[in-house]
Structure 1
């Protein structure tokens, strides 16, 4: 039984996504509108009887000076990753993308390999023999993820080096922090906060911190804090038009797809964050804060409001997104890991991103270019 792959409409794409518990926001048609430097296309897998059984958003980025493309399916495609006949899903994808001029394909199977409970992460941080999360015993492990990795290697896929999506580089975090909500009451989730979190939430409330939802007109206030955060935490900020475009594209697809939260104190915005929702999955997307008045704990208050709203929406997971996998005290990102785990978050490892070079010469040239950058 063969599968047929062809472009699908936005309506077909969204209808299929709506039939599932959730998919990544990066596999929605609207995400292509957020990325103007890439051309986007919705693809669908069809059974012989015409049933749509999988979808994928592919982003195509032209290689400078030649009409060849890097094809990227961030946190996708949305297919049956544990199907015994995985080749019949991926072979038509490679054939189609090669016909579109792709010289290399990058994808990110949304398959979890290992999880570490908050207690396991805390123990690993203080263990002198644990330098990375992988050195610590996981709380749970899915053998199917290892089987998937082996199958992809046999099919010619290569596990990609971690990176960040800047310019021609593309990449999503392999390690994330997620607070499980499914089957848990609000009191259960509050009980999962560590003592510092509960203390800080009370401090913020006593100090008079107010967390409100904002709109498109509040993006400049968010952005001012975001650029301050970028300088403090040593990362390159995205431009304000990116967030305006993100808001317009995602809320046009679903009015509640993207939310903006702002923490106010004495007439000043001290922290702000964006939140994304697809089905039962809620993501803390971008966060920002000022170094001023940190003693009133605006970030804890804001996150707790977002988690509260996510629970009211019926979310099955609150996703803090990327974390470092290093446990070294010298890593400036370790504090962020502690912050997220303190909210009751599990450390989660995905199988990572995978590359398939359709043109080995051009793929090698791209790898060399990225290393030199």
Structure 2
């Protein structure tokens, strides 16, 4: 009797991903589940951020294998191109997705199709994985005339970040801001290079020991001089903004934001989650000398914007503020304290190098994110609008 050959049944195909517009509650529930991760969502992907950005409409979208159970989400900001019904779609530091998914196209393609159907002519995203990291000690030994971060061999390269960059490039995405070695780094709307202080597994003594001698001396000086650090309220935002304008004039930059912008941000973020945005004030002899804002999402904390007066700088109010904020982030169980953007210059003669030098003193690390990536969507009209939009950004 001959043996029967049994052909195994083919494995069932994975269900096609669903894609839809989410309610704010569904969106927030997904973010809440991800916020316990060290690499959780950015505050720029919160639903509340849409209320901060005037002049933009928005969508909350999600996708997954099981209907009603998102595997990824995105806050999409839409800016209408003047004289048309077409939009530029921007996902700041998003989407919030599994970038390690080997089938990237399974959710990225439906996202692009949805945005094209919504009238988008181009899309800009900010992928989540990091790319490279440099320790503070490593960079201090590589400063010099004309040097930039891109000239220095990284202390660590993230293999996932490298893989995602190659996958996006192969699909026609273009990285904004060039290769990170030149003056065009500013093409990213969000900072490509950020400064982070890891907190996981560290004690407050570890954090203190991580500061350089200058930082420790300045914190002691602030304490001895009677600098008092307190958490302010919305009523203190006008004083923060006054100091911010002084800081912009002194340091030669202009954020281009109004007091109303910060009031709107403070109200929107704290309405969504009480205490999400805080304003820290450093007072000396009854006068506010410095003010910094801090944002918390899950186990991630960001120092967002800092401002200080021109006078009595010798009492070191900004060092006192940062130390208090760092301790508060540690006390609430944060995994990382993110000091946000830094310049890419390592040239001590560059005016902007002072900001990097100041942050290096905390003993953390410079992180190069993947930056922002853009792609025009199919269609002759879309490509024409995209070129016009790029020319507009270049003029700005």
Normalized against structure 2, the TM-score is what? 0.90
1:143 and 2:166 aligned: no
- 1:209 lines up with 2:223 in the alignment: no
Q: After the TM superposition, which parts of structure 1 deviate over 4 Å for at least 4 consecutive aligned residues?
A: 162-165
Instruction: Please state if 1:132 is matched with 2:167.
Output: no
Where does structure 1 lack aligned partners over 5 or more consecutive residues?
none
The 5 A counterparts of 1:30-45 are 30-45=48-63
- Map of 1:17 onto structure 2: 31
Indicate the structure (1 or 2) with the bigger Cα radius of gyration.
2
**8 Å CA contact retained: 2:19, 2:110:** yes
**In structure 2, C-alpha distance between the alignment counterparts of 1:204 and 1:336, rounded to whole Å:** 20
SS at match of 2:143: helix
1:94-142 C-alpha deviation (Å, 9 max, x unpaired): 000001100110000021011111101111215x6x7111211211111
Say if 1:32 and 1:39, in contact at 8 Å, map to a contact too.
yes
2:329 to 304, 310, 317: 310
Secondary structure of the residue aligned to 1:331 is: coil
Q: CA, structure 1 residues 164+171, in 2 after alignment: closer, same or farther (shift >3 Å)?
A: farther
CA-CA distance at 1:161 after TM superposition = 2.1
Residues 188 and 371 in structure 2, CA contact (< 8 A), matched pair in contact too: no
Per-residue CA shift, 1:246-267, capped at 9, x if unaligned? 0110000001110000000011
Q: 1:169-184 residue pairs with structure 2 within 5 A?
A: 171-184=189-202
Gaps of 5+ in 2: 1-13, 179-183
| Conserved 8 A contact 2:188-2:372 | no
Q: Report the Cα distance in structure 2 between the residues aligned to 1:55 and 1:325, rounded to whole angstroms.
A: 31
Asked whether the 8 Å contact 1:214–1:261 carries over to 2, the reply is: yes
RMSD (CA atoms)? 1.5
- Written as runs of structure 1 = structure 2, the 5 A alignment for 1:1-373 is 1=14, 2-20=16-34, 21=37, 22-48=40-66, 50-126=68-144, 131-161=147-177, 171-236=189-254, 237-358=256-377, 359-373=382-396
CA distance in 1, matches of 2:280, 2:319: 12
CA distance in 2, matches of 1:239, 1:366: 24
1:255 & 1:5 partners in 2: Cα distance?
31
